Structure 1
Amino acid sequence: MRTAREAALVSRFSAYGAAVEIGIGRRPTVAAALADAGVTVTATDVVDRRESDGVEIPSSVSFVCDDVVAASERADPGAAYHADLVYGLNLPPELHRPTLRVARAVDADFLFTTLGYDAPTVPCASESIAGGETLYVARERS
């Protein structure tokens, strides 16, 4: 069952044809729902979630074990990151700048949420969404 927050994120992100979730962690719900809505979704994480106990990445979501910090330092971040949207949910501050660099490199929008008490470390606009969540828009193509 999706929460109001998850439904709002899926609604906001479903306009994109392809999306990459940075640091999917143990919560693949939004990525799975986006894939169900017809978005091509790739999830990344530094931990191989396919082998992690108790976490199942749905087959509708591609998974790539990669470090967004390392990807941000490459001339081309890698095929996994070539999408219309790069997003992170509960993205820690130390990943804001590297993820923005990746989004710029692949000419993608970059939207993210924080844990709530973290302030964004990159310039961005904010949107209030259902569930009391703030969605930060760090890069949006015209």
Structure 2
Amino acid sequence: MVSPSRRALVDELADHDSLVEVGVGNRPAVAQALAERGSRVVAVDVDPGERTLAAARAAEDEGVEGSLRARRGDVLALADTGTGERDVGPLADVDGSVDAVYACNLPAELQRPTVALAERLNAACAFTTLGFEEPVVPVRRRSVGGTPLYVARDAGRGERSSGPE
């Protein structure tokens, strides 16, 4: 079940074909809903939870329109451009390009690496925060279903946000 605020995030991201969720943990609802709508989602976390792993297996078993893959990975390592390679670690099996990188409840210390990963993939980047934190990267603020959504890179243009609009 997806909460109303998470449903708004799903509605916002559903037009992307291929997405990476950073820091999925044990909360696969957004990734699962996007897969059910036909998106290909790779959910990455240093320790994907049992619910996330089960949701990925269920998406495969039930033959949902899209796909959901859970992968172990650290956004700090994925964002590192030192290797010069895009297809490393848990993203090695991503089919084609990634349209968007997103996160739910993204803590301040992971915002910069998440945006860097999106830049590395030339993808849009959007996230919600823990609620009590302000973004520490330049963003455009949007309200989606009453939930603050922060856009750090715009869809289609792959450009970094210049800040509030």
Higher RCO, Cα 8 Å, sep 6+: 1
Q: Cα deviation per residue 1:32-73 (whole Å; 9 max; x = unaligned)?
A: 000000000000000143xx4x65333331011000001111
Between the aligned partners of 2:26 and 2:136, the Cα distance in structure 1 is 24
Among candidates 123, 138, 149, match of residue 123 of structure 1: 138
- 5 Å-filtered alignment, 1:1-142, equals 1-49=1-49, 52=50, 56-59=54-57, 60=59, 61-74=68-81, 75-78=84-87, 80=91, 82-130=97-145, 132-140=146-154, 141-142=156-157
Following superposition, the deviation at residue 77 of structure 1 comes to 4.7
The two structures have a TM-score, normalised by structure 1, of 0.89
Question: Structure 1 unaligned runs (5+)?
Answer: none
Question: Structure 2 unaligned runs (5+)?
Answer: 60-67, 158-165
The two structures have a TM-score, normalised by structure 2, of 0.77
Q: In the comparison of the two structures, how many residue pairs are matched?
A: 138
Q: Which amino acid aligns with 2:148?
A: T
Between the aligned partners of 1:120 and 1:77, the Cα distance in structure 2 is 26
Provide the aligned C-alpha RMSD in A.
1.7
Paired position in structure 1 for 2:163 = none
* SS in structure 2 of the partner of residue 10 of structure 1: helix
Following superposition, the deviation at residue 133 of structure 1 comes to 1.4
Between the aligned partners of 1:122 and 1:58, the Cα distance in structure 2 is 31
